[in-house]
Structure 1
Amino acid sequence: MDVTLNHDPQTRFDRSLKVALLGECMIEMRGEPGAAITQTFGGDTLNTAVYLARLSPRTTISVDYLTAVGSDAFSDAMRQSWLDEGVGDGHVRVIEDALPGLYFIQTDPQGERRFLYWRGEAAARRMFDGPEAEAMLDALADYDFVYLSGISLAILTPEGRARLIQALQAARRAGTRIVFDNNYRPHLWPDPETARQAHRDLLRLTDLALITWEDDVLLFGYRDADALFIDYAQVGVGEVVLKRGAASCLIQCPAGRFEVPAQTVTRVVDTTAAGDSFSAAYLACRLRGGDPEQAARWGHRLAAQVVQYRGALIPQAAMPTMGASSLPSVAQV
């Protein structure tokens, strides 16, 4: 990724890159009412963190997850699952009187999913509240890249959201790059205007935006991709990737505008984490020196594989080959 993208801080990429992803990891349940239930863990930015770690050499790119959890057995198992995937938990806040959120996935015969949530009192909602949050907020400036989503913003209290934006402003002045995935979920916001304002505040700080087309149509009412690209350029987003499901993605960046076709999938089993995995592969490729078109091909390749398996995280053995040998070294990013 171009180190001069959007602003010109001191270059800090003469060592391994540090990437923080922040948001909420939840207990994931899957099954049918009255039948056996399978339990694992998931969440949009956590899914991206895991796939990013799988695609990144640990000697050159380190991946951390920032959130808040409880002190219960599920929270402990959750954190261990991240460590097992190579995702660090050094800046996770533990809130003693709280528990993780929980969601239940049901899928229809076409692989489209329906989610049922229990998250109103989840620990992650309070991750940036109170003086105990200062250490995590200050730590953002220690990372080369911070990745978050519209869900990351939505789950926070108004206090926590305001403090996060302030901390990201300070981190960006210090040279941190911000990556944003819009992931707009109306039921998580009190009203659309609050969501629009929060997204606008974040987009003013964003260097790379990974945008789901349907979500921005719902939130901002865009009629076409041109209108979206114009708005994003006006607020200073240097690189915009427009994800359109099974259709091609569109990219706007300093080198121009590109369209990259998706891969055909004959049998879709479960679309959970399709967008999260695309974003992870795109970012992994860019961090490793790939250009936007190559990064989009990585994104499509991983997403096409993910939708052929149930659940957010496919088995390690099912991860596709990405042709990493053709990439420049991280030092050339």
Structure 2
Amino acid sequence: MTVTLGHCPQANLTQPLRVALVGECMIEMRGQPGAVFSQTFGGDTLNAGVYLSRLGKGNGIVADYVTAIGADSFSDAMRQLWRDEGVGDQHVRVIKDALPGLYFIQTDDQGERRFSYWRGEAAARRVFDGPEASAVLRALADYDYVYLSGISLAILTTEGRERLMQALSLAREGGTRIVFDNNYRPHLWPDAPSARKAYSDMLRLTDLALITWDDDAVLFGYADQEELFRAYEQFGVSEVALKRGPASCLIQCSTGRFEVPAEQVQHIVDTTAAGDSFSAAYLACRLQGGTPQRAARWGHMLAAEVVQHPGALIPGVAMPSLNMPEFSSVAEA
């Protein structure tokens, strides 16, 4: 079954579209060793969920987060952050003997990041384990869209990943659309073949793929973008947005192949969540009826603002205005 994203229902205020974002939120520490650190929260799908909630507020889009947390004060604080940002938490599991994962970010003079992680025993790893997860897994079929990433898959136990894949398959048969951001992190997988198997299974269920070129080139060994697009056609993915950092975005969809130039940024502070924010803006635009080209433009504009601020989540007052008219200066690739 192949579903074309452009044919799906669009958001409206009387019947909002519901999006479930599956993944892990972690404790984020930022600074340099031996100095004072600032503490907040972040994670790829959580970042996307916050930006999607901000862009969807008042526009008929509801974002819910699906994960597991502990019963500690850090878990309580991150959950309050989600609520403050309008991200729903009704399908968040509390695992009392677990804690959230933790990571440290250091950035260089060009804003490039270096991460150090402590997440092996994180609660989110067990979100789909055991009989307690059955209700959460069934609930995925109640959403119009489910958004997840390669990190969402990587952190799960084998049992949890298998159960999630089964739930996504059933949900898609019932009309739920699946959105996948590849975010490949080799250190989270036992080996590359295991990752390729999981990604291949996931892509066969995917309607919209938001792909970072460097990640897929490493994981699948694609020689060039043409080989990637041919592979995604074989997987049955109906729409692909290929992110290439500060370079243009390439789109392959039912209406053709397009290239959308990136925004030029003079001073990059921190590239954390650049890809997550692009994905959120792209999806928000598509759910409001925008074309793939316009969606990529939204993605570039939000990402360009995000990289000019420290941390994954920029202040709400710094969000760019994206409600611009449709533009036509998009060249066929």
Which bin holds the TM-score, normalised by the shorter protein?
A: over 0.9
Provide the C-alpha distance between the structure 2 equivalents of 1:35 and 1:41, rounded to a whole number of angstroms: 19
What secondary structure sits across from 1:53 in the alignment? Answer: helix
Whether 2:90 is the aligned partner of 1:90: answer yes
Q: List alignment gaps of at least 5 residues for structure 1.
A: 328-333
* Structure 1 equivalent of residue 182 of structure 2: 182
* Contact 2:17/2:61 (<8 A) preserved: yes
User: Which amino acid in the other structure matches residue 229 of structure 1?
Assistant: F
Whether 2:69 is the aligned partner of 1:69: answer yes
Task: Using the TM superposition, give the Cα deviation of residue 57 of structure 1 relative to its aligned residue in structure 2, in angstroms.
Answer: 2.8
Q: List alignment gaps of at least 5 residues for structure 2.
A: 328-333
What secondary structure sits across from 1:98 in the alignment? Answer: coil
What secondary structure sits across from 1:289 in the alignment? Answer: coil
Task: Using the TM superposition, give the Cα deviation of residue 261 of structure 1 relative to its aligned residue in structure 2, in angstroms.
Answer: 0.2
Query: Is the alpha carbon distance of 1:239 and 1:316 closer, same or farther for their aligned partners in structure 2, counting shifts above 3 Å?
Result: same
* Structure 1 equivalent of residue 281 of structure 2: 281
What do residues 170-214 of structure 1 show as CA deviations (whole Å, max 9, x unaligned)? 000010000000000000000000000000000000000000000
* Structure 2 equivalent of residue 331 of structure 1: none
Aligned length: 325
Provide the C-alpha distance between the structure 1 equivalents of 2:212 and 2:26, rounded to a whole number of angstroms: 22
Provide the C-alpha distance between the structure 1 equivalents of 2:232 and 2:161, rounded to a whole number of angstroms: 21
Provide the C-alpha distance between the structure 2 equivalents of 1:163 and 1:123, rounded to a whole number of angstroms: 17
Task: Using the TM superposition, give the Cα deviation of residue 103 of structure 1 relative to its aligned residue in structure 2, in angstroms.
Answer: 0.2
Task: Using the TM superposition, give the Cα deviation of residue 59 of structure 1 relative to its aligned residue in structure 2, in angstroms.
Answer: 5.9
Whether 2:31 is the aligned partner of 1:5: answer no
* Contact 2:11/2:288 (<8 A) preserved: no
Q: Identity across aligned pairs (percent)?
A: 70
* Structure 2 equivalent of residue 159 of structure 1: 159
User: Which amino acid in the other structure matches residue 289 of structure 2?
Assistant: G
Whether 2:65 is the aligned partner of 1:28: answer no
User: Which amino acid in the other structure matches residue 221 of structure 2?
Assistant: G
Task: Using the TM superposition, give the Cα deviation of residue 41 of structure 1 relative to its aligned residue in structure 2, in angstroms.
Answer: 0.2
* Structure 2 equivalent of residue 141 of structure 1: 141
Task: Using the TM superposition, give the Cα deviation of residue 15 of structure 1 relative to its aligned residue in structure 2, in angstroms.
Answer: 1.7
Q: How do 1:1-333 residues align onto structure 2 when only pairs under 5 Å count?
A: 4-5=3-4, 15-58=15-58, 60-323=60-323
In the TM superposition, structure 1's runs of 4+ consecutive aligned residues that sit over 6 Å from their partners are 6-14
Provide the C-alpha distance between the structure 1 equivalents of 2:9 and 2:61, rounded to a whole number of angstroms: 19
Provide the C-alpha distance between the structure 2 equivalents of 1:6 and 1:148, rounded to a whole number of angstroms: 16
What do residues 207-261 of structure 1 show as CA deviations (whole Å, max 9, x unaligned)? 0000000000000001111100000011110000000000000000000000000
Task: Using the TM superposition, give the Cα deviation of residue 5 of structure 1 relative to its aligned residue in structure 2, in angstroms.
Answer: 1.1
- TM-score when scaled to structure 1? 0.94
Query: Is the alpha carbon distance of 1:108 and 1:15 closer, same or farther for their aligned partners in structure 2, counting shifts above 3 Å?
Result: same
Task: Using the TM superposition, give the Cα deviation of residue 61 of structure 1 relative to its aligned residue in structure 2, in angstroms.
Answer: 1.1
User: Which amino acid in the other structure matches residue 231 of structure 2?
Assistant: D
* Contact 1:10/1:175 (<8 A) preserved: no
* Contact 1:9/1:175 (<8 A) preserved: no
What do residues 284-304 of structure 1 show as CA deviations (whole Å, max 9, x unaligned)? 000011000000000000000
* Contact 1:6/1:237 (<8 A) preserved: no
User: RMSD of the alignment, in Å?
Assistant: 2.0
